[in-house]
Structure 1
Amino acid sequence: MGPERGNQMVQNYQGNIRYYFSNADNYSFVRLGSGISPDERTLFSQVQENPSLNAYYITAGFNFTAGVHHIFQIGGGTLYEDITNKTSGTQLLGNISYRYRF
């Protein structure tokens, strides 16, 4: 839930789907979302002025292990967002992460 503006709460939605392979650390994923993220400070001030600004994103990727201690994640996606009432933008998203399990 986001800020209340004009007696209406700004709502954010996110859905996650995972397909697990051999164990809980090996899976593929897809994430879909819409709304304005409240932790996006540059957009948050714009939301306060105009809560009808929208953002939509989709990401997909893989989480996998290499041995007992090494966990990797690779993903990518796209983000579409309204910047003002007349301006919008699209970003490509990508990530590579590494975790070490002790």
Structure 2
Amino acid sequence: MQRPLLKYRILPTARIGIDEVRSYIVRTFGWETWRETSAHLQETINHIRQFPESGHVPPELDGFIDERFRQAISGKNRIIYQVKDGTLYVHLVADTRRDLQALLQRIVLRLM
């Protein structure tokens, strides 16, 4: 029997990351590659919704604000998420080759 999927929410910071990934992929590889990447991201999110503990805590976020942030890899992208009160919150989607610390600093500065 299949486990029920958690409700989920893509936060604005993740939407910005998705837009950046889409822009890069479309510009560099074309729309077909973006469609495949987008489908793969959605498959990964659905997997996380069913098995939220399957991701691991990225070293950059270990112990961050006493919350349990996790990461799942989807192709060449990372999805940073948190499960809270029965809902999956997707905080960030970014290329795995990006410096996570620098990206987080940029996001914090953008939110101020």
Query: One fold, TM greater than 0.5?
Result: no
Higher helix share: 2
More relative contact order in 1 or in 2 (CA 8 Å, sep 6+)?
A: 2
Higher strand share: 1
TM-score (norm. length: structure 1): 0.29
